[in-house]
């Protein structure tokens, strides 16, 4: 290891759990920058917003440029690296190029002295996966998915692989000042810099996990506020920079189980983080110290892949019910609509959903409350079909059929549903169909790295 | 009987990957955590009954002493964000837990 890299501690600043969805609070960000961090990091993406963004290859956030501007100008002023994971939400090649382009424009606009942008891609060619299948390799399903077939590979509009720390290590070795990553695990854009500077893998990955959602690790609940994670050879420490927030054993231990199936293990490319023996202690009034994570390397390298397939074009309409008799018999009204649609469009493939708000619109089959106490119901009709015209026609027809629903005993004879507005075009309907792992020989083989320059 | 919302300090749900939703119930102290565990009001079977699903749909159920927390995870019927899903983040599925009655 290069001696210039050797440090007793490394401080990593993060102000957002998802770059671009809303602006980071500049006040706590600058307070954090005043504490002289060694890195600024942020997660540019997630699979959380659903399959549409990967399927359509679009970026969700409307504040990407604002946030990158804050991070880039502040980090360049201090001469410290900026590391962005999963560019453009999905880490698609287009997302990476878009973010690199924004960094270039901002560097010009602000007259930032020349610096190096390292970036890597993570889209997976379908042929590559089919060759794995042909070679008898299993593409194992995660989270209840069956193993991946050649047909489902073809059905996906786009597939990305989830990088580990390796492309980050490579780009830092190459001297990148800014890293724009393709799809990567949300712990790796922090773990990479920590491992690059020689800190133990177990602590590096654990710090990545603890700080990836920024201020959500502290209390009280606040989003988009800055925290700093500090790693040493022996421990990690988490400190919030909003003056009203503090890290407590409860907040940090509680966060360690956030959006994970288990609080005890975290899988990453190349190994598993074992947190069963973790110990949390209050270090000072606002800081929690964490020790005890173990890193268990795996014998077989398997990289996670993600992909989405298109179901069709999608429209939505809204229906209001106020007649108490119709409210009580909403299932009969829905059955009437379904059969009317089936009679007219049954020869076409389509999907039609009824979201009954006021009863089970949010929880669906999981809702324990089966008898609604509401005096009115709102129903979103969601229709998906192969073409735009057909999706609109079916959805609009379903909305009209609520108006004409024939329910025995109805006293109103001028219309059984209140409707307004044109049936609205929504995003196309997509579905995650790739959520698997693929065996690889080299942790870099799906993640080509590139270096370019920006600034004046 | 006491409602779970009167005993727990955090009750939440959130995606754990694209095909599962995980639920966290965190208590302010070991005493209330132990009380709820001892009551047997929150077990894998009790959760399956509350949400009207077979216990096989619950992929994981753990107690997490260091955080005074109970955590369980269930499979979705279709992955998050598929047509027909109205909780892409899975972040409103915890609602029924607040009303859960804890004996004792």
Cα separation values, A434 from A225, A238, A307, A328, B8, Å: 33, 35, 4, 41, 37
Q: Which of B10, B33, B30 is nearest to B22 (CA)?
A: B10
- In chain A, which residues have their Cβ closer than 8 Å to the Cβ of B92? 362-363
**Positions of E strands within A254-337:** 265-268, 271-274, 279-282, 288-291, 294-297, 302-321
Q: Which residue of B has its CA nearest to A426?
A: B83
Chain B residues in contact with A280 (beta carbon < 8 A): 66
Residues 6+ apart with CB under 8 A from A119: A87, A96, A99, A100, A171, A179, A180, A181, A182, A449, A450, A451, A452
Nearest-CA distance A243 → chain B (Å)? 22
CB within 8 Å: B14 and A311: no
Tell me, yes or no, if B92 comes closer than 8 A to chain A by beta carbon: yes
Q: Quick check: A51 contacting B, CB < 8 Å?
A: yes
Contact state of A368 with B96 under an 8 Å Cβ cutoff: yes
Which tokens sit at A290? Answer: 């964490």
Inspect the interface and report whether the beta carbons of B53 and A361 lie closer than 8 Å.
no
What pLDDT was estimated at residue A419?
A: 87
A306 touches chain B (CB under 8 A): yes
Q: B33 to chain A: which residues are within 8 Å by CB?
A: none
How far A80 CA sits from the closest chain B CA (Å)?
Answer: 32
- Can you point out the beta strands (E) in chain B? 2-3, 10-15, 20-26, 58-64, 69-75, 101-102
Q: How far apart are CA A430 and CA A206, in angstroms?
A: 33
Q: Where are the alpha helices (DSSP H) in A227-378?
A: 249-255, 324-328, 330-345
Name the token pair of A108: 């010009």
Q: How far is B12 from chain A (nearest CA, A)?
A: 9
User: What is the pLDDT at residue A1?
Assistant: 47
Distance, in Å, from the CA atom of A282 to the CA atom of A444, rounded to the nearest integer, reads: 39
In this complex, is the C-beta atom of A320 within 8 Å of any C-beta atom belonging to chain B? no
Look at residue B104 in the predicted model and tell me its pLDDT: 79
A4 touching chain B per CB within 8 A? no
Give the mean pLDDT of B47-68. 96
Residues 423-452 of A with CB under 8 A from B: 429-433, 435
Asked if B60 reaches chain A (Cβ–Cβ under 8 Å), the answer is: yes
Query: Tens place of pLDDT for every residue, chain A, 456 residues?
Result: 454 577 899 999 999 999 999 999 999 999 999 999 999 999 998 898 999 999 999 999 899 999 999 999 999 999 999 999 999 999 999 999 999 999 999 999 999 999 999 999 999 999 999 999 999 999 999 999 999 999 999 999 999 999 999 999 999 999 999 999 999 999 999 999 999 999 999 999 999 999 999 999 999 999 999 999 999 999 999 999 999 999 999 999 999 888 888 889 999 999 999 999 999 999 999 999 999 999 999 989 999 999 999 999 999 999 999 999 999 999 999 999 999 999 999 999 999 999 999 999 999 999 999 888 999 999 999 999 999 999 999 999 999 999 888 888 888 878 888 887 789 999 999 999 999 999 999 999 999 999 999 999
Q: Nearest chain A residue to B86 by CA: give it.
A: A362
Query: Does an H or E element contain A352, and which?
Result: strand A350-357
CB contact under 8 A, A256 and B14: no
B46 reaches A (C-beta below 8 A): no
| CB contact B10 to A (< 8 Å) | yes
Backbone angles phi, psi at A278, to 5 degrees: -65, 145
Contacts of A369 in chain B (CB under 8 A): 96
Residue of A nearest to B28 (CA): A250
CA distances from A350 to A76, A382, B101 (A): 52, 11, 42
Judged by CB atoms closer than 8 Å, whether chains meet at A369 and B96 is answered as: yes
State whether B86 and A145 contact (CB < 8 Å).
Answer: no
CA closest to B80 among chain A residues: A50
Q: Nearest 10 degrees: CA dihedral of B12, B13, B14, B15?
A: 160
Give B56's contacts in chain A (Cβ within 8 Å).
none
**B54 touches A at CB < 8 Å:** no
A229 bridge partner residues: A12, A238
Q: What is the pTM of this model?
A: 0.94
Note which residues in 125-154 of chain A have CB less than 8 A from chain B: 142-145
Nearest-Cα residue of chain B relative to residue A312: B83
- Cross-chain CB nearest to A363 (options B18, B73, B95): B95
**Beta bridge pairs of residue A228:** A13, A239
Question: Which residues in chain B are closer than 8 Å to A431, comparing Cβ atoms?
Answer: 78-79, 81-83
Cβ contact B52–A365 (<8 Å): yes
Whether residue A358 lies within 8 A of chain B, CB to CB, comes out as: no
pLDDT of residue A275: 94
Taking CA–CA distances from B22, the nearest residue in chain A reads A261
- Over residues B41-56, the mean pLDDT reads 97
Complex confidence, ipTM: 0.96
Tell me which chain B residues have a C-beta less than 8 angstroms from the C-beta of A281: none
């Amino acid at each position: 290891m290069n001696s210039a890299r050797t440090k007793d501690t490394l401080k990593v600043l993060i102000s957002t759990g998802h770059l671009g969805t809303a602006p980071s609070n500049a006040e706590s960000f600058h307070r954090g920058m005043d504490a002289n961090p060694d890195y600024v990091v942020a997660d540019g993406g997630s699979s959380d917003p659903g399959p549409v963004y990967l399927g359509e290859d679009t970026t969700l956030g409307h504040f990407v440029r604002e946030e990158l501007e804050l991070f880039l100008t502040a980090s360049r002023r201090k001469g410290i690296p900026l590391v962005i994971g999963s560019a453009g939400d999905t880490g698609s090649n287009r997302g990476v190029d878009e973010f690199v382009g924004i960094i270039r424009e901002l560097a010009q606009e602000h007259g930032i002295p020349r610096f190096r942008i390292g970036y890597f891609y993570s889209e997976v060619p379908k042929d590559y996966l089919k060759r794995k299948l042909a070679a008898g390799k299993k593409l194992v399903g995660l989270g209840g998915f069956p193993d991946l077939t050649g047909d489902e590979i073809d059905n996906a509009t786009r597939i990305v692989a989830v990088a580990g720390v390796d492309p980050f290590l490579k780009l830092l070795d190459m001297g990148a000042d800014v890293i724009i990553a393709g799809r990567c695990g949300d712990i790796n854009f922090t773990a990479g810099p920590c491992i690059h500077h020689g800190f133990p893998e177990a602590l590096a990955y654990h710090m990545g996990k603890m700080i990836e959602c920024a201020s959500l690790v502290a209390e009280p609940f606040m989003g988009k506020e800055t925290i700093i994670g500090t790693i040493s050879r022996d421990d990690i420490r988490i400190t919030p920079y909003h003056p009203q927030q503090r890290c407590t054993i409860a907040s940090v231990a509680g966060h360690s189980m956030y959006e994970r199936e288990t609080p005890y293990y975290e899988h990453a490319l190349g190994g598993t983080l074992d947190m069963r023996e973790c110990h949390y202690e209050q270090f000072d009034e606002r800081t929690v110290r964490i020790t005890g994570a173990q890193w268990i390397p795996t014998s077989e390298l398997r990289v996670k892949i993600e992909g989405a397939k298109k179901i069709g074009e999608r429209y939505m309409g809204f229906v209001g019910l106020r007649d108490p008799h119709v409210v009580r018999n909403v299932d009969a009204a829905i059955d009437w609509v379904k059969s009317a649609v089936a009679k007219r469009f049954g020869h076409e493939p389509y999907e039609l959903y009824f979201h009954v708000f006021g009863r089970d619109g949010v929880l669906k089959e999981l809702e324990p409350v089966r008898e609604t106490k509401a005096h009115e119901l709102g129903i979103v009709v969601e229709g998906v079909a192969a073409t735009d015209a057909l999706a609109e026609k079916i959805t609009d027809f379903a909305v009209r059929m609520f108006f004409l629903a024939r329910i025995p005993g109805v006293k109103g004879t001028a219309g059984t549903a209140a409707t307004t507005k044109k049936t609205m075009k929504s995003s196309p309907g997509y579905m995650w169909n790739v959520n698997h792992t693929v065996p690889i020989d080299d942790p870099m083989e799906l993640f080509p790295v590139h270096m370019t320059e920006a600034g004046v | 009987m006491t409602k779970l919302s009167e005993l727990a300090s955090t009750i939440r749900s959130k995606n754990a990957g694209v095909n599962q939703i995980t639920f966290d119930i965190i208590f302010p102290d070991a005493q209330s955590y132990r009380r709820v565990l001892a009551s047997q009001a929150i077990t894998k079977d009790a959760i399956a009954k509350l949400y009207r699903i077979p216990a096989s749909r619950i992929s994981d159920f753990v107690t997490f002493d260091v955080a005074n927390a109970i955590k369980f995870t269930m499979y979705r019927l279709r992955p998050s964000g598929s047509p027909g899903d109205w909780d892409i983040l899975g972040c409103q599925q915890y609602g029924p837990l607040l009303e859960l009655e804890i004996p004792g």
